[in-house]
Amino acid sequence: MREKELTTEGITNPEIDLIKTTFETLLREVSKTIVGYETIIKQVFTCLLCGGHALIEGVPGLGKTKLVKSLAGALDLKYSRIQFTPDLMPADIIGTNIISETETGQRSFEFFRGPVFGQIVLADEINRATPKTQSALLEAMQEGRVTVFGKEYQLDQPFTVLATQNPIEMEGTYPLPEAQVDRFLFKLKVEFPGKEDLLEILEKTTEENSRESTVITTTGELLKMMPLVKQVPIASNLKDYVARLILASHNSENNRARMVREYVRYGASPRGAQALVLAAKVVALLKGRYNVAFEDIKEVAVPALRHRIILNLKGEAEGIDPDDIIRNILGTVSEN
């Protein structure tokens, strides 16, 4: 047998093994300091390989910030933190030109880089800032660059924004603009831990056995993994299934999903379809398969679409959970 056994799409088995091994090692390493976040870690790693971003929602004190910092440390990526507050300005995120003076007295403008120039950027409590400041991340998230006074500055790759937010109902929060929410590949929900997890948290954080994450890979290795995602084949009938899921999220008279007809104002955008396909490809790779299956699409449907379902007034008034709407869609859209 050859050292590099090729699949039908040219991906080598050692490359697939590298992705699986990296994730398994990452999960073990981060779990030494973070308790009960196995699914969240897998979904964040999926976003990273897809070149996407994640919106992480949960009440304060659940360890969202520590999780992001631990992931950056284990992956050896430049970590940058932006604390969003109501008085934060766009220049505080992107950076600005400042006047610098040489030893000879000559003055010139010099660009001072803001905290967005990281590789894993933690946008902490993003919905505590005003919509204008929130929107300052749009170009960076979509294009991988920022523009200041007409000059473009490229961001280092890989570049991922992991934004934490408090539930919208909490005091002092601003809803994120829909255009920005749509640029997140996933929206992840951090649930309150159970008793066993709470006990383990106390053991790891209040005693002397606490530790930092060990580096398990390099930037170069991650950059080699990322292009492999798009090489994973997906059959035409699965693409058709994804398209039908997206269309089923839109309100229409002939929609079979009752909850969509009753509670949805706007459904998922084409970015939602892209998120489903790319994330499903990563899930397939992590399972050791070289092609996407229906189960992979269903696994990522909720985190990929929950923030793209816009409720109407009735849905908001009755406190409908978009997750339930997505499950209703999955139950009514057939695989054939």
pLDDT at 189: 87
Domains and CATH numbers, the chain: 1-225 (3.40.50.300), 232-336 (1.10.8.80)
pLDDT at 136: 81
pTM for the full predicted model: 0.85
How far is 28 from 23, CA to CA, in rounded Å? 9
Q: Is 99 helix (H, G, I), strand (E, B) or coil?
A: strand
User: By the 8 A CB rule, do 276 and 297 touch?
Assistant: yes
Task: Tell me 266's DSSP state.
Answer: E
Q: Any residues with CB less than 8 A from the CB of 208 and at least 6 apart, and which?
A: none
pLDDT in tens, 199-245: 766 776 666 655 666 888 888 888 888 998 888 889 999 999 999 99
Report the candidate in 208, 209, 227 with the shortest Cα–Cα distance to residue 285.
227
Report the candidate in 293, 297, 287, 299 with the shortest Cα–Cα distance to residue 233.
293
pLDDT in tens, 115-167: 899 999 998 888 888 877 877 888 888 888 888 888 888 988 999 999 888 77
pLDDT at 5: 41
Q: How far is CA 323 from CA 94, 173, 180, 314, in A?
A: 34, 22, 20, 16
pLDDT at 65: 82
pLDDT at 211: 61
Residues of the chain under the 70 pLDDT cut: 1-12, 168-173, 193, 197, 200-201, 204-213
